[in-house]
Amino acid sequence: MNYSEYGVDDFLNDESFQSFALKQKSKDKVFWLEWIAKNPTKKNEVDEAIKILTSFSLKDTTHSESIIEADLQKLQNAFDQQKKSRVVPIGPSKFNWRIAASIALLIGIGIAAWQYVTYFHSKAEKVIVQKDVPNGKKLTFMLPDGSLVKLNGNSSLKYEQNYLLKQRKVTLTGEAYFEVAKDAINPFIVISGDLSTVALGTSFNIKAYADDPQIEISLLTGKVSVTSIRQSSPEEYFLDPGDGIRYTNENSEIITYEFNTEEVMAWKNGIIKFKNASIKEVANKLERWYGVNIQVNNPPDQAWKLNGSFENESLENVLKSISFSTPLKYTLNDNQLEINFLK
Amino acid sequence: MQLYKNYYQELFNYGVRIARNEELTRDSIHDLFVHLWSKDSFEGISNPKPYLLKSLRYIIIDGLKEDSLMSGHIELPDVALSTEDIQINSEINEASSLKIKSALTKLTNRQKEVVYLRFYNGLDYAEIAEITGISNQSVRNLFSKAIRELRNQMLPIVVLSTLLHVLTN
């Protein structure tokens, strides 16, 4: 479709554009925000189309909670009764004629529903593919649609095998860098903890380890939308390249900020980087990076922060460097690392 | 139960527009869910909204036919979209609001239904075609005509606001 030749009427009749203007689907929003940014000459047409589509909205006929509750109760009763008797009750009732009339119709719907349901069931035999990366390892692979994923240590990615047939949806725990293959129709969705990230053709990094108190999403190129999947009508955040989002698991708080590319992407390039890192952050990172379990004895106080980067260094060298500034002793047996800080 | 709670409002609002009768709408929603729950497998449907609306539509139309047979005259479903249902964007002045409202209420039944399902329920053309039982292309045409109608009413406003924009800059 050649959008650059679109007039107002074309925009108005474009389903995807309507969906964008009416704030219906994230993928359309992502697509059009990106398109509008790239095509500033179309601003007038776009603005007019949006103005027309948003000139009105249709109000809810509000229905009191008590009526809904009453109807639900009635339904529950009918359902319980049906369970007992295993047939639709056709006892004498005020609405008898309607139930009777509905039965014939419901049989028809029943057939449709049955076909619908069996159709979905045949599809529902889902095969889940799971890629796991242990501590100390990294894994780069390609998804069936051509998107590239680089998984960091102690991370896993899950997706359905028939991933291409439906939406492109993956579930991440841990940290991964994505280079999403372009597909304007099928959005690429990453679920990580409470957050859902929707992209069309972009590259971004998500850090969502279960033992970290927060999730961080950093956008490198393109555009993504991030929403919380825990709220029923969540706020939607759109990131531009260079934007990062930090979600605190405990209180569901979201903040956006400009991130440091070098810092975020260091892991992907074999560089372990610390910036004002606490002893806990350091230990977590080293555990994931080198595949060890770390026990810290006599840890330094809150004020202790580590800065520095190590490119393809051995664990011992990293520990030695740290010991220059903060005296420590360590013992490494198999995968057990014990660090003793000396006062 | 979750399905019921999640969709009750939307089903009721749609139902009452075509049934123009709250009692019939409530009974029809009742019948719909009684039927659904007699089939345990329904939970597996990933996108239940179009399916629910379509089923409700059938049950209501059927109920209306029964009603009309009893009272002796046939009344086909008619989409109620009154000026009270329409909320005009606050940036639009009163004279234009009236024009937009009148344009919307003068749409044909089919157009109203399509506009309603597209704007209020957020369904796409294919889903609307499925619910109303008309072709995808017909939905497209109905919607297109409705939007053109709307645009014609809006034209002076947009031109005016653009002009104001130019003048004030």
Q: What are the DSSP calls for A245-309, one per residue?
A: EEEETTTTEEEEEE--HHHHHGGGGTEEEEEEE-HHHHHHHHHHHHT-EEEEES---TT--EEEE
**Which chain A positions have a beta carbon within 8 Å of B124's beta carbon?**
15, 19
Instruction: Give the pLDDT confidence of B50-104 residue by residue, as tens digits.
Output: 888 888 888 888 887 777 666 555 445 567 677 777 888 877 777 778 888 888 8
Please provide the average confidence, as pLDDT, over all residues in chain B: 79
The residue of B1, B35, B56 whose CB has the most chain A CBs within 10 angstroms, and thus the best one to mutate to test that interface, is B35
pLDDT at A192: 93
CA distance A296 to A298: 7
pLDDT at A206: 95
B56 to chain A, closest Cα gap in Å: 10
CA distance B25 to B19: 6
B143 to chain A, closest Cα gap in Å: 8
The sign one gets for the Cα dihedral A320, A322, A324, A328 is negative
Among the partner residues A9, A24, A61, nearest to B16 by beta-carbon distance:
A61
The residue count of chain B comes to 169
The residue of B102, B119, B159 whose CB has the most chain A CBs within 10 angstroms, and thus the best one to mutate to test that interface, is B119
Q: Is A55 helix (H, G, I), strand (E, B) or coil?
A: coil
| CB A177 within 8 Å of CB A203 | yes
CB contact under 8 A, A109 and B143: no
Tokens (6 digits) for B70? 């009893």
pLDDT at A172: 95
CB contact under 8 A, B151 and A117: no
| CB A227 within 8 Å of CB A235 | yes
CA distance B125 to B115: 10
pLDDT of chain A, 343 residues: tens digit per residue: 688 888 888 999 898 999 898 888 778 888 888 888 888 898 888 998 998 888 888 876 666 677 777 888 888 787 777 666 544 444 444 455 566 666 677 776 766 666 665 555 544 456 788 999 988 888 888 888 888 899 998 999 998 877 666 678 899 999 999 988 887 677 889 999 989 999 877 899 999 998 888 999 999 988 899 988 877 667 889 898 899 999 998 888 899 999 888 888 888 888 888 888 889 889 988 888 888 899 999 888 888 898 888 888 888 888 888 888 888 889 988 888 999 988 7
Among the partner residues A9, A95, A113, nearest to B27 by beta-carbon distance:
A95
The 3 state secondary structure assigned to B57-89 is HHHHHHHHHHHHHHHCCCCCCCCCCCHHHEEEC
B154 to chain A, closest Cα gap in Å: 7
DSSP letter (8 states) at residue A59: P
Secondary element (H or E) of residue B93 = none
Residue with tokens 């198999």: A334
| CB B111 within 8 Å of CB B78 | no
Specify the amino acid at residue A251.
N
The residue count of chain A comes to 343
pLDDT at A91: 44
Nearest to A22 by CA among B122, B108, B12, B13: B122
Instruction: Give the pLDDT confidence of B37-53 residue by residue, as tens digits.
Output: 766 545 556 678 888 88
Q: What percent of chain B has pLDDT over 90?
A: 8
**Which chain B positions have a beta carbon within 8 Å of A110's beta carbon?**
35, 39
| CB B63 within 8 Å of CB A101 | yes
pLDDT at A207: 94
DSSP letter (8 states) at residue A169: E
CA distance B146 to A57: 14
| CB A255 within 8 Å of CB A246 | yes
CB contact under 8 A, B125 and A102: no
A157 to chain B, closest Cα gap in Å: 22
- Helical segments of chain B, H only: 2-19, 22-37, 48-71, 94-105, 109-115, 125-132, 136-168
Secondary element (H or E) of residue A37 = helix A26-38
CB-based contacts of B57, cutoff 8 Å, min separation 6: B14, B18, B77, B131, B132
* pTM across the whole model: 0.54
A307 burial level (CB within 10 Å; 0-12, 13-18, 19+): exposed
What number is the average pLDDT over the span B154-161? 62
| CB A50 within 8 Å of CB A10 | no
pLDDT at A173: 94
| CB A197 within 8 Å of CB A190 | yes
A242: alpha, beta or left? (left if phi > 0; alpha if psi -120 to 50): left
Chain center to CA of A90: 48
**Which chain A positions have a beta carbon within 8 Å of B12's beta carbon?**
61, 63
Residue by residue, DSSP assigns A122-139 as HHH---EEEEEE-TT--E
CB contact under 8 A, A56 and B86: yes
Among the partner residues A56, A82, A121, nearest to B88 by beta-carbon distance:
A56
CA distance A295 to A283: 8
Tokens (6 digits) for B116? 């309603």
pLDDT at A90: 45
pLDDT at A64: 67
